[in-house]
Structure 1
Amino acid sequence: MSLNQKTIKNEINYKGIGLHSGREVTLKLIPANPNHGIVFKRIDLDKDNLVIPNFANVTNTSLNTTVSNEAGVSVSTIEHLFGALFGMGIDNVLIEIDNEEVPILDGSAKEFVKKIIDTGLEESATPIKIIKINKLVEFKEGTRSIKIEPSKLSLDIDFEIKFQNKIIGTQQNKIKVYEDNLSDVFNSRTFCLYEDIETIKKHGLAKGGSLDNAIVVKDEEILNDSGLRNEKEFVNHKILDCIGDLYTSGYRIIGNVTCSQGGHYLTNQLLRKVFENNENFSIIEIKQKNLPHTLINKNILKSIA
């Protein structure tokens, strides 16, 4: 009855456009053996096409998380998919992708999670490994900050955002990743301010952005006809990003995360600080059965629409 490594039962296919590239992309999740981990394979390339999504391989954190291999081959906007894989307890999968960017779909992790639930998980006989935080580690940049500290058995994320815009304003939420219902987090979409769109596009980004895959806020109005999916959708999306970025550690984590005004850059810098000193963490193989949860949130199986 140990907590064993999991993969998906069958292949899963997704198709859409890249939020920043604007290009059509097909992505396939393929079951993988224990200890395979999560690996990207760029099937549009003939060589140097494997990319390991590790925090040390993160090469860009501007409006998305991008990972690259030594040959410079990249996969970008991995964070929503990784949030889904983390939350669903998937340890091993090969991700085939025919372009440089993971499809944005509806701007959340909802479709990733739904198809994983529909397909089901395959449990192996190999115990999982987890990262246990042993010491407080923090990273600050101006008024922005993030820290992680020891926890007995949980991963708690306490996240705060602060915007001048009255619609977004200051929002805070705290979740227990392994125990709470994560449906609101999975369903929360990426967002931006209307006045920032022109600048973002001048930098060659958001070529595939639309009201179908992002919340757009203009002054005191949400431009999307359907409005918000939950009352804390803005901060919940940041929590989704944080979960996904934390999974570039390679394993699920036991620790308490507190973040104010953070994003991809702060989370990546935090992981780099954690792993620069072996005293900060332990990697533990879980063989006992006396944990109060299974490091996979079962509530979502009932709640993702």
Structure 2
Amino acid sequence: MFSNQKTILKEVSFSGIGLHSGELVNITLLPDDIDTGINFFYKKKKIKASWKNAEISQLCTKIKKDNVYLSTIEHLMSALCGLGVTNLLIKISSGEVPILDGSAKDFVNNILKIGFKEQKKKRKFIKLKKTITFEDKKKFIKIVPTNENKFTIDYTIDYKDELIKKQQFLYNHSYEDYKKIYLARTFCLQQDLEKIFAMGLAKGGSLENAIVVSGNKILNQGGLRYKDEFVRHKVLDCIGDLYLSEHQILGEVTTSGGGHELNLMLLKKIFEDKDNFDVI
């Protein structure tokens, strides 16, 4: 995991629909310089992918600068973390990253095709010094320090339904482990769709970019990519959200019933006190 900073070798572009906006979005990833981090460029504003710019949201991850918002960045951020990309400029034509197939597959595969440029400076890490916990009723997320300089996620979900039920997945951050989750797609219960539509969301949602569960059935042709695709996707999201730390976190994460809101609250709690961590 300890390596130099890294950007991509040349630019790569994607086009697709915004999951919640329903708008066609064009996005281009460009190489960037040492120590610049991950930045989005939208409406003539550069917005750093950072917990400092993040907005609390339940159904996606949002960042903003002034009155300019960008949403659904989590799958792209997850891909960048999984591939070890530390410096990148992302130009985007609309206020939402395209959902593509609902996973990180297209981001990962197309970035791998163009390759990487290793930069001549060591990357930095956020090393936890204290156990940090955030709880919300029966949901919780916590991170504990590790002497092994690793990043792990032990994720549990329990939907108490007919199909998803209780699932658990342990992720140990490496490209090899990331390959086990990056194909996992976002999902929803059919019974929740009416509520989501009433909120003005999921205008671009379809069976092409999300798993829909109805009772004990999957409505998508072809079914699931993994029998526990649901919890694997939650891990994918968690990786992307926690990369808003600006550097790779080192620690052991355990979470149950978590989501975007809890992930962000954990970051805010970590960084509220400089005694909680070291930058190494």
Q: TM-score range by the shorter chain?
A: over 0.9
Q: C-alpha distance in 2, partners of 1:225/1:134? A: 47
Q: Which runs of 5+ in 1 are unaligned?
A: 285-305
Counterpart in 1 of 2:180?
Answer: 184
Amino acid at match of 1:37: G
Contact 1:184 1:233 in 2 (8 A): no
Once the two structures are superposed, what CA deviation does each residue of 1:157-198 show, in whole Å capped at 9, x if it has no partner? Answer: 000001022210010010101264322310000000001111
Match of 2:275, SS?
helix
Once the two structures are superposed, what CA deviation does each residue of 1:2-30 show, in whole Å capped at 9, x if it has no partner? Answer: 72100000101000000000000000000
Q: C-alpha distance in 2, partners of 1:31/1:169? A: 42
2:87 counterpart (64, 74, 92): 92
Whether 2:132 is the aligned partner of 1:137: answer yes
Counterpart in 1 of 2:109?
Answer: 114
2:213 counterpart (211, 217, 226): 217
Contact 2:58 2:259 in 1 (8 A): no
Tell me whether 54-63 or 264-273 shows the greater mean CA deviation: 54-63
Counterpart in 1 of 2:270?
Answer: 274
Counterpart in 2 of 1:75?
Answer: 70
Amino acid at match of 1:7: T
Whether 2:23 is the aligned partner of 1:23: answer yes
Question: Structure 1 residue runs of 4+, over 2 Å off?
Answer: 178-181
Counterpart in 2 of 1:158?
Answer: 154
Counterpart in 2 of 1:293?
Answer: none
If the length of structure 2 is used for normalisation, what is the TM-score?
A: 0.97
Amino acid at match of 1:126: K
Amino acid at match of 2:96: E
Superposition deviation, residue 60 in structure 1: 3.5
Change (3 A) 1:179 1:150: farther
Structure 1 vs Structure 2 CA RMSD? 1.0
Q: C-alpha distance in 2, partners of 1:4/1:182? A: 19
Amino acid at match of 2:179: S
Contact 2:37 2:48 in 1 (8 A): no
Matches within 5 A, 1:49-60: 49-60=45-56
Once the two structures are superposed, what CA deviation does each residue of 1:221-279 show, in whole Å capped at 9, x if it has no partner? Answer: 00001100011100000000000000000001110000000000001000000001111
Q: C-alpha distance in 1, partners of 2:24/2:58? A: 21
Once the two structures are superposed, what CA deviation does each residue of 1:26-77 show, in whole Å capped at 9, x if it has no partner? Answer: 00000001101110001xx2x4x211121121124220000001x2101100
Amino acid at match of 1:112: F
State percent identity of aligned pairs.
45
Q: Which runs of 5+ in 2 are unaligned?
A: none
If the length of structure 1 is used for normalisation, what is the TM-score?
A: 0.89
